[in-house]
A = this chain, B = another copy of it.
Amino acid sequence: MIDTTPLVKKLGAFVALSDAELSVLATLLKRRRSFVAGRDLVHQGQSDQAAYILASGWACSYKLLEDGQRQIVDFQIPGDFLGLRSVLLHVSDHSIEPVTDIEVTEIHVADLLEAFAHTPRLATAVLWAASRDEAMVVEHLVDVGRRNAAERMAHFLLELAARLFLIGQGDRTGFACPLTQYHLADALGLSAVHVNRVLRQLREEGMVTFRDGLVTFDDYARLAEFAQFDPSYMDQANPLLR
């Protein structure tokens, strides 16, 4: 019995899937696999990979430039697809690295597309999830393009909290966070030294503390105002299909 809890929690908030639809989803999940932290499970340019659903742990997707610079596109938490876009587009446009040791369930995209024919609401759910992922990448673009370092850090931590809340792993007091300052730097287009300085600034201003793997919101409301955080792009208000 493969545990689909985080995925079902996430999709269920947006497209109410019936038991029959959920059991189709369960048949797609071929096998459970484990990967260790820091070793890529998908490589940029790879073309024969499977897609995965993250069951436990955190991962990140990133692109490497030829000069060795790295841009982290997004982090994945339990319930998120890993590499779905890559499979649809034949060639992976990014690499995926486990941030922690992770457990995933493998999904063959031919099976997924076949399942759409019988359970179109599942197609809608997946399209919704892909749209939400895109909305988050758009916010990261705005982060890097137009927000200053402190605002983008604040916005990023608030988004993570909202995503974790949906799968029952965080709230407005804070969340457990396995990311290092190097992850934050590569995601936000900052140096590690700059990340350090910005985190100190936010802590000294009494808004948020990130220490020993724990993000604590010292003043959630003020932090949200500071970051101009409007969570509506994450669409956690009500389901698309009932």
Contacts and interface: CB of A to CB of B under 8 A. Distances in A.
Instruction: Select the residue from A116, A126, A127, A232 with max chain B CB neighbours within 10 A.
Output: A127
A127 B123 contact: yes
Contacts of A144: 141, 144-145, 189
A191 to B, nearest CB: 12
Interface string A223-242: 00000100011010110110
How many copies of this protein are present in the complex?
A: 2
Give the interface size class of chain A.
35 or more
A142 B235 contact: no
B45 A91 contact: no
B130 A130 contact: yes
A85 B124 contact: no
A71 B132 CA distance: 19
Contact of A63 (B45, B138, B241): B138
Contacts of A240: 88, 90
B128 A88 contact: yes
Given A116-B124, A127-B126, A228-B65, A235 B134 contact: no
A154 to B, nearest CB: 13
A91 B134 contact: no
Interface string A127-158: 11011111101111110111100000000000
A233 B46 CA distance: 11
Given A65-B147, A144-B145, A134 B137 contact: yes
Interface of A: 45, 63, 65-66, 69-71, 73, 84-85, 88-91, 93-94, 113, 116-117, 120-121, 123-124, 126-128, 130-135, 137-142, 144-147, 189, 228, 232-233, 235, 237-238, 240-241
